């Protein structure tokens, strides 16, 4: 591994690693996945799901009475698979392996079975469960969907650099066409164990760690984790994982063309009666321009553009976890985005008490105090 770039101290992170800090990568992972393939959800009403997906900029790749496959404009597999269920919930991620041999290698190490995927998707899969109890699929050799027409980007003038004359900017108020799936963010009470599982088995590596103020000696409480494709730059994070009182889906993120597509698409979503959770702004970790929305069932989804891409050389950055540190610019993070609602608070408190009673959680009283400081910072 080369270290030409060192830590993020000269880029955006406040600090680099200290002696004894989590290394952010495994020395000898079983395999190294290439990317997220898709996310799986259950929804009670596929028509309602399809209507929101169209307004959000996703297209139907395949539909049956019990399943909906959604895609972006980019080539590859569907990026979301929705099955009919009794309630709206996130099921888990599917990661793309380099080939079927890697899927078999992973299955052998974990004592799992490789199976064929349905013909509508093709390829093979090994079904696993991470230490938090979340189903994780690793797939290879899936059918390649053809690329769809992309959303045109605008031509910009930058100060005295004139690239557009005798023409106007009129981005249409229409759905922001999703290009591809970017990442999923989750919360778990078994944080370090689950983080290490993804690093050890799937070869993911950490781009940035966050920790609670005055608790750095206890280790990180959030990680932004990317795929390791060697010298090929990849998204700053494919998986974001935070410590918390219970297993929880936080959001999933989908790339669009640029700020104009994102903003005009947001106006279209608002016109259709959907609710913005937080945005528009630019993140710190990952640098994405972001816009968060609630889907028809209340799950959080993100449009993003212009995110960071890192190769394998960059070591993890470290920074204190603060609500005010979520964005470089934009409105303050909303209570809705942060999950500060009576309903969520009651569920968190119940899970927190249960975890302490069972002794199967890393989220103790000190961690609770740290999290409360985050929401107020």
Picking from 367, 365, 25, the residue whose alpha carbon sits closest to that of residue 213 is: 367
Evaluate whether 238 touches 225 at the Cβ level (below 8 Å). yes
Tens digit of pLDDT for each residue in 295-351? 999 999 999 999 999 999 999 999 999 998 899 999 999 999 999 888 888 999 999
- In this prediction the pTM is 0.94
**Is the confidence at residue 3, as pLDDT, over 90?**
no
CA distance 280 to 331: 7
Bridge partners, residue 285, by sequence: none
Per-residue confidence at 375, pLDDT binned at 50, 70, 90? confident
78-82, 237-241, 324-328: which range is least confident on average?
A: 324-328
CA distances from 373 to 23, 135, 321, 322, 349 (A): 26, 32, 9, 8, 16
CATH topology for the 9-144+175-376 domain: 2,3-Dihydroxybiphenyl 1,2-Dioxygenase; domain 1 (3.10.180)
Instruction: Please state, for a pLDDT cut of 70, what percent of the chain lies above it.
Output: 96
Region 252-273: mean pLDDT is 98
Region 225-230: mean pLDDT is 98
Tens digit of pLDDT for each residue in 184-220? 999 999 999 999 999 999 999 999 999 999 999 999 9
The pLDDT, as a whole number, for residue 298 is 96
Nearby residues of 101 by Cβ (< 8 Å), 6 or more positions away: none
Higher pLDDT, 14 or 67: 67
β-pairing, 239-243 vs 180-188, is parallel
What are the boundaries of each domain within the chain? 9-144+175-376
Region 279-283: mean pLDDT is 97
**Is the confidence at residue 1, as pLDDT, over 90?**
no
Region 212-241: mean pLDDT is 97
The pLDDT, as a whole number, for residue 32 is 98
Picking from 190, 211, 199, the residue whose alpha carbon sits closest to that of residue 23 is: 199
Picking from 328, 50, 307, the residue whose alpha carbon sits closest to that of residue 179 is: 307
**Is the confidence at residue 9, as pLDDT, over 80?**
no
The pLDDT, as a whole number, for residue 17 is 87
For residue 274, the SS3 value is: coil
Dihedral sign (CA 111, 204, 90, 373):
positive
Region 29-56: mean pLDDT is 98
Region 30-40: mean pLDDT is 98
**Is the confidence at residue 8, as pLDDT, over 80?**
no
Tens digit of pLDDT for each residue in 124-171? 999 999 999 999 999 999 999 999 999 999 899 999 999 999 999 999
**Is the confidence at residue 2, as pLDDT, over 50?**
no
Average pLDDT, the chain: 94
Region 50-65: mean pLDDT is 97
The pLDDT, as a whole number, for residue 345 is 87
The pLDDT, as a whole number, for residue 5 is 44
Tens digit of pLDDT for each residue in 173-182? 999 999 999 9
């Amino acid at each position: 591994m080369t270290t030409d770039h060192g830590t993020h101290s000269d880029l955006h992170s406040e600090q680099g690693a200290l002696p004894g800090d989590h290394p952010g990568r495994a020395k000898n992972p079983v395999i190294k996945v290439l990317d997220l393939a898709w996310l799986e959800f259950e929804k009670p009403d596929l028509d309602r799901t399809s209507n929101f997906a169209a307004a959000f900029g996703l297209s139907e790749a395949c539909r049956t009475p019990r399943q909906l496959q959604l895609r972006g404009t980019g080539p590859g597999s569907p990026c979301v698979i929705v099955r009919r269920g009794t309630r709206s919930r996130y099921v888990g991620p599917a990661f793309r392996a380099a080939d079927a041999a890697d899927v078999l290698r992973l299955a052998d190490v974990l004592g799992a079975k490789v199976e064929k995927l349905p013909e509508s998707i093709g390829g093979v899969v090994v079904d696993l469960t991470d230490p938090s109890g979340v189903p994780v699929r690793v797939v290879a050799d899936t059918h390649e969907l053809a690329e769809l027409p992309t959303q045109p980007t605008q031509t910009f003038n930058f100060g005295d650099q004139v690239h557009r004359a005798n023409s106007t900017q009129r981005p249409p108020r229409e759905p922001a066409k999703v290009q591809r799936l970017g990442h999923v963010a989750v919360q778990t009470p078994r944080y370090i164990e689950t983080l290490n599982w993804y690093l050890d088995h799937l070869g993911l590596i950490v781009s940035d760690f966050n920790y609670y103020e005055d608790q750095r000696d206890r280790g990180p409480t959030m990680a932004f984790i990317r795929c390791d494709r060697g010298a090929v730059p990849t998204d700053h994070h494919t998986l974001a994982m935070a410590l918390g009182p219970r297993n929880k889906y936080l959001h999933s993120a989908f790339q669009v063309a640029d700020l104009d597509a994102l903003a005009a698409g947001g106006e279209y979503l608002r016109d259709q009666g959907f609710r913005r959770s937080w945005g528009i702004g630019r993140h710190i970790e990952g640098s994405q321009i972001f816009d968060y929305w609630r889907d028809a069932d209340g799950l959080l989804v993100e449009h993003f553009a212009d995110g960071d891409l890192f190769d394998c050389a960059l070591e993890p950055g470290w920074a204190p976890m603060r609500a005010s540190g979520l964005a470089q610019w934009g409105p303050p993070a909303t209570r809705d985005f942060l999950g500060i609602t009576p309903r969520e608070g009651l569920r968190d408190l119940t899970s927190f008490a249960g975890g302490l009673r069972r002794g199967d959680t890393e989220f103790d009283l000190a961690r609770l105090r740290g999290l409360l400081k985050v929401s107020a910072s």
